[in-house]
Structure 1
Amino acid sequence: MAISPKTATDRGGKTLFDHTIVTVERAASELRRGRPVLAWDQQRAVVVQSAELLQEDWIDGLRSLADGEPVVGLTYNRANILHVLPRSGDVALVLLPEIMAGDSQARVIQSMADPDDDLMRPLLGPFHVAPTGAEPMHEAGLKLCKLARLLPAALFSASFDVPDAPGWAAARGLLSVAAKDIMSYDQSDAAALRQITAAKVPLAGAEQTTMVAFRPDDGGTEHFALLIGDPNRHDPVLTRIHSECFTGDLLGSLKCDCGEQLNGAIRHMQDQGGGVLLYLAQEGRGIGLINKLRAYQLQDQGFDTVDANERLGFQSDERIFGPAAQMLKIMGFDKVRLLTNNPLKVEGLEACGVTVTERVKHAFPSNAHNDHYLKTKKKRSGHLLP
């Protein structure tokens, strides 16, 4: 089998699968292990290191790999908290901070990324924006941190010209990835979803349930669907898009309403004669479980759910709807009655080619632990709640 940087082919030259998504996932995995990767665009490149996992010796390492001082890359939301804004776009490049008494430079950079100590260290800084603005590789580097389920902050080497980025990286033991491949990853990963298997899984209150598993050809993110009954493919199907919530769905957390939404949707579909529940691997509105716990910690400090996500450097909601649309199309559904209180889900699904004929309300009473959370969703995120 011949393998090129982009595709794998059989002996007859037939393309088996595209390596683009594999390369992005490998790069994200490298960041999670604390290793740097090379992000490149045309003939420009930067070495990317997760700020969250930064070690002191890698600051000098990035100096030695490129001619110039490294810079800290932050999203607009996180940079705004630190009172420094991008020169343009949504990525701020910040000069390396001065070392404070009792601190290492790596520790200060980690504090720039992680808001956990913001209230304890309100005078952290001041920070200064770099003289040059962000390039496509910087935006892609922060996106890669998100895909790795890390905080969206990075230490970047100085950007440099390189005619052969993959060759340059390979000679130095680094993985390289194109910026455009990182930025198109979500769409590519969703489009590559395939149905892998299906099995009957009788549920309490919905015994005629089939669980369907989906995975991209290249082994990327897996998602699941629950078919309640045997929904008619010719009529709009009652559908719920449910993002996985370990704390709410499995542990019964009172901090959100996810468990009630999940179980309530299954009961409602059973009562209505059938439906489809899409269970997506997009924990914490797409930021991952660990970052969701970080957001919970910020909520305990007095920030609401929107402020907490943005203080971490994320958007208030990072979820995408391409996987949901692809799963529905694979199963033969192109029209849905969407069980949701979130208008953005309606817009997101329709933007991916699925017709939403009706929004079906889906609300549950609050409790002492999630009352403020639900009010915030209504007031700041536009959810249609009582």
Structure 2
Amino acid sequence: MISATPAVSGRGPDASAPIGAPRTRAVHRAVADARRGVPVVLAGQHPLIVAPAETVGAEGLHLIDRLAAGPASLLLAPARAAAVLRRPLAETAPAVALALARPLIDAATLRRVADPTLEQIMPSFALTSVPDQAEAALALGKLARLLPAMVVAPVRPGWASLPLGAGLLAVPAADLLAYPTNLAATLNRVAEVEIPLEDAPDARLIAFRALDQGIEHMAILVGAPAAKAAPLVRIHSECFTGDLLGSLRCDCGPQLKGAIRRMAEEGAGVVLYLAQEGRGIGLINKLRAYTLQDRGLDTVDANRALGWQADERNFHIAAAMLDAIGLKRIRLLTNNPEKMAGLAACGVDVAERVPHVFAPNGVNDAYLDTKARRFGHLLD
């Protein structure tokens, strides 16, 4: 569920320590390389060479095969591994490792194993030992908004001096684990403009950007919220399908419009519009989850079948935005008690929960039922 800390958390003091600009740049490049299918070396006591199963191609697999100091494996989240192996698995560990024979199987097969929405023609796999850096390897896939399924192998000593290793990046595993929390500390206001809205003519928009120069987070200010002792605040994760297209599968569009309308009626308020599509799994993975929902899974089990947690969001960014616009004490417009707890854990004084309930529309009835039954949302 929602947490004030990253869904993948560190396992030592380095995981929570601030990371400086050079190391942050290394994380940014590691994410970019992962999205392009280029292997990355995770530095640590037992270094690994890793690449996402979703994007790695023949060249990347060749590099892993040649630079590996031992057998390669495919890391999967336990829920996904259980489906691949067709048997239940304990979910106490962050990852399950499936042995890969050398030479490595082809990239197309790896993608089918990683993605449950594709045709499931599976080779046989045997379980093998999970490497020490498994958590960081899956974290890299998640930071890249890819399926958390990673090809990994112990890397040969002196790999960087070998011709095949030239140009490959090494990034500390602890930096990948610490990155989601540290990112909030780099948030900056980059633009501010008056933007009259249909339901709130006195609205302003403030854009925030973090050091990674990624998708911007937005604050929609209605009236003068800082003048209120505890203004109304809505933490709204972006929803391309609901907010922009008016999808009936969710209640996101009505919640966004309704929040702005409610704040206009009160005379002030803030909507924090966060780049956390699909409860933090990204738009493409949300669409994959929709495909699995169409096959009978609910939103919780669909996310888990893809290898993600049911909810991957954290509130460090939201807390930093509230601090930047001078709001210390708020009334939170939400049906989700865990959202209140997440903000409170980040130091935000939540004076009150204000319900924000919209009736089902005939299409999203099961979705709302899942929110209440499995996420604990208060929809009565």
Paired position in structure 1 for 2:81: 79
Secondary structure of 2:357's partner?
coil
Paired position in structure 2 for 1:142: 138
Amino acid in the other structure paired with 1:382 = G
Secondary structure of 1:115's partner?
coil
What are the superposed Cα offsets for residues 233-291 of structure 1, whole Å, 9 maximum, x if unpaired? 46111000000001100000111110000000000000011101000000011001000
Tell me, yes or no, if the aligned pair for 2:226 and 2:325 is still in contact at 8 Å.
no
Question: Distance in 2 between the 1:97 and 1:160 partners?
Answer: 17
What are the superposed Cα offsets for residues 324-364 of structure 1, whole Å, 9 maximum, x if unpaired? 00000111111110000111110110010001110000011
Q: 1:303 to 1:31 in 2, by over 3 A?
A: same
Paired position in structure 1 for 2:180: 186
Percent identity between matched residues is 46
**Which residue, out of 275, 291, 306, partners 1:281?**
275
Q: 1:90 to 1:374 in 2, by over 3 A?
A: same
Paired position in structure 2 for 1:264: 258
| TM alignment of 1:15-164, pairs within 5 A | 18-41=21-44, 43-82=45-84, 83=87, 85=89, 89-96=93-100, 105-117=106-118, 121=121, 124-130=122-128, 132-135=129-132, 137-159=133-155
Question: Distance in 2 between the 1:84 and 1:292 partners?
Answer: 25
Question: Distance in 1 between the 2:257 and 2:372 partners?
Answer: 21
Paired position in structure 1 for 2:334: 340
Secondary structure of 1:127's partner?
coil
Deviation of the 1:60 alpha carbon: 3.5
Tell me, yes or no, if the aligned pair for 2:97 and 2:127 is still in contact at 8 Å.
yes
Q: 1:156 to 1:217 in 2, by over 3 A?
A: closer
User: Per chain length, whose mean CA-contact separation is higher, i.e. which structure has more relative contact order (CA < 8 Å, sep 6+)?
Assistant: 2
Paired position in structure 2 for 1:205: 199
Tell me, yes or no, if the aligned pair for 2:28 and 2:212 is still in contact at 8 Å.
no
Secondary structure of 2:127's partner?
coil
Deviation of the 1:93 alpha carbon: 1.3
Tell me, yes or no, if the aligned pair for 1:194 and 1:214 is still in contact at 8 Å.
yes
> Which stretch of the first structure deviates more once superposed, 85-94 or 186-195?
85-94
Question: Distance in 1 between the 2:58 and 2:210 partners?
Answer: 37
What are the superposed Cα offsets for residues 57-99 of structure 1, whole Å, 9 maximum, x if unpaired? 5333212102222110111221232337479621111102799
Deviation of the 1:39 alpha carbon: 1.1
Secondary structure of 2:323's partner?
helix
Secondary structure of 2:359's partner?
coil
TM-score (norm 2): 0.88
Paired position in structure 2 for 1:5: none
**Which residue, out of 238, 247, 254, partners 2:241?**
247
Paired position in structure 2 for 1:175: 169
Q: 1:373 to 1:169 in 2, by over 3 A?
A: farther
Amino acid in the other structure paired with 1:226 = I
| TM alignment of 1:322-361, pairs within 5 A | 322-361=316-355
Amino acid in the other structure paired with 2:26 = T
Question: Distance in 2 between the 1:223 and 1:91 partners?
Answer: 31
Secondary structure of 2:199's partner?
coil
Matched, 1:313 2:310: no
Tell me, yes or no, if the aligned pair for 1:189 and 1:220 is still in contact at 8 Å.
no
Amino acid in the other structure paired with 2:96 = A
Q: For this pair of structures, how many residues does the alignment match?
A: 359
Secondary structure of 1:77's partner?
helix
Deviation of the 1:47 alpha carbon: 1.0
Matched, 1:371 2:361: no
Tell me, yes or no, if the aligned pair for 1:239 and 1:278 is still in contact at 8 Å.
yes
What are the superposed Cα offsets for residues 129-156 of structure 1, whole Å, 9 maximum, x if unpaired? 11x3331x22111111111111011101
Tell me, yes or no, if the aligned pair for 2:71 and 2:101 is still in contact at 8 Å.
no
What are the superposed Cα offsets for residues 280-317 of structure 1, whole Å, 9 maximum, x if unpaired? 00001100100000000001111111110000000001
Amino acid in the other structure paired with 1:44 = H
Question: Distance in 2 between the 1:87 and 1:307 partners?
Answer: 14
Tell me, yes or no, if the aligned pair for 2:37 and 2:60 is still in contact at 8 Å.
no
Q: 1:127 to 1:217 in 2, by over 3 A?
A: closer
Q: 1:291 to 1:218 in 2, by over 3 A?
A: closer
> Which stretch of the first structure deviates more once superposed, 182-191 or 47-56?
47-56
Amino acid in the other structure paired with 1:96 = L
Question: Distance in 1 between the 2:355 and 2:226 partners?
Answer: 21
> Which stretch of the first structure deviates more once superposed, 137-146 or 217-226?
217-226
What are the superposed Cα offsets for residues 21-41 of structure 1, whole Å, 9 maximum, x if unpaired? 222121111111111111112
Deviation of the 1:198 alpha carbon: 1.1
Tell me, yes or no, if the aligned pair for 1:72 and 1:153 is still in contact at 8 Å.
yes
Deviation of the 1:197 alpha carbon: 2.2
Q: Structure 2 regions of 5+ residues with no counterpart?
A: 1-19
Q: Structure 1 regions of 5+ residues with no counterpart?
A: 1-16
Deviation of the 1:215 alpha carbon: 1.3
